[in-house]
A and B are shown apart, each in its own frame.
Chain A
Amino acid sequence: EPEVTQTPSHQVTQMGQEVILRCVPISNHLYFYWYRQILGQKVEFLVSFYNNEISEKSEIFDDQFSVERPDGSNFTLKIRSTKLEDSAMYFCASRLVPNYGYTFGSGTRLTVV
């Protein structure tokens, strides 16, 4: 069964450092997303991406965040200057059509120290 692949599975970074979280969505999917889940809290939306541009972003997704689809397979989330409160599980997701369920990746656990 097709999978969404995320790397790394766990990243530890110092506050103020830049991190790039990587995702390979399912190959024929057209809609891409990043969500995050702080430990013990809800899954929360960060950004959606379609046709090489951001469709919608949340209040969390400020100027420190950016997304990119540099080629036909990868989808990245960059955090320019990490803060302690950025520590969370970050999930990439994709789907073929907009009103169907997402396929999520297994996530990247980001720990900012």
Chain B
Amino acid sequence: EDQVTQSPEALRLQEGESSSLNCSYTVSGLRGLFWYRQDPGKGPEFLFTLYSAGEEKEKERLKATLTKKESFLHITAPKPEDSATYLCAVPPVSGGYNKLIFGAGTRLAVHP
């Protein structure tokens, strides 16, 4: 069964304290891994798509990397406004790109 597992479930950082979030997946033949940010009571906001091992993408203080089994979202010198839940998602082996399987997310809290 296709699965996406994110860790840790929750992470508390001080402002400026860099860290990484993990997303591991069991889908074989990965056809893309998607990172989203979700604020409370809002829809997920698209951040990145990674397609192949070794690929990296950056946006402000966020950098996403991909290996054959997992992806990391690195947060460098975070600010309180980076507080949110970060979700990763992959398309399943079957079904083309008709749907995404989401992980449970990592709740990030950045304190001043």
Q: Give me the interface of A with B, judged by CB distance under 8 Å.
A: 4, 33, 41-45, 48, 55-56, 58, 89, 91, 93, 98-107, 109
Q: Give me the interface of B with A, judged by CB distance under 8 Å.
A: 31-32, 34, 36, 41-49, 87, 89, 95-105
A56 and B43 form a contact (CB under 8 A): no
Known interface pairs A42-B104, A99-B32; A48-B46 also in contact (CB < 8 Å): no
B45 and A104 form a contact (CB under 8 A): yes
B32 and A104 form a contact (CB under 8 A): no
A58 and B43 form a contact (CB under 8 A): no
Known interface pairs A99-B32, A101-B34, A101-B49; A106-B99 also in contact (CB < 8 Å): no
User: Which of these, A41, A99, A109, contacts B97 with CB under 8 Å?
Assistant: A99
Q: How many angstroms between the C-alpha atoms of A48 and B69 in the bound complex?
A: 27
User: Which of these, B43, B99, B103, B105, contacts A105 with CB under 8 Å?
Assistant: B43
Q: How many angstroms between the C-alpha atoms of A43 and B31 in the bound complex?
A: 19
B44 and A98 form a contact (CB under 8 A): no
A99 and B31 form a contact (CB under 8 A): yes
How far does the Cβ of B8 sit from chain A's closest Cβ, in whole Å? 16
User: Which of these, A42, A106, A107, contacts B103 with CB under 8 Å?
Assistant: A42
How far does the Cβ of B49 sit from chain A's closest Cβ, in whole Å? 5
How far does the Cβ of B42 sit from chain A's closest Cβ, in whole Å? 5
> Cβ of A56: which chain B residues have Cβ within 8 Å of it?
95, 98-99
A102 and B100 form a contact (CB under 8 A): yes
> Cβ of B45: which chain A residues have Cβ within 8 Å of it?
104
A98 and B99 form a contact (CB under 8 A): no
How far does the Cβ of B31 sit from chain A's closest Cβ, in whole Å? 7
B87 and A43 form a contact (CB under 8 A): yes
> Cβ of B48: which chain A residues have Cβ within 8 Å of it?
101
User: Which of these, A58, A101, A107, contacts B99 with CB under 8 Å?
Assistant: A58
Known interface pairs A99-B31, A101-B49; A48-B99 also in contact (CB < 8 Å): yes
User: Which of these, A98, A101, A106, contacts B43 with CB under 8 Å?
Assistant: A106
How far does the Cβ of B105 sit from chain A's closest Cβ, in whole Å? 8
Known interface pairs A56-B95, A100-B49; A44-B43 also in contact (CB < 8 Å): no
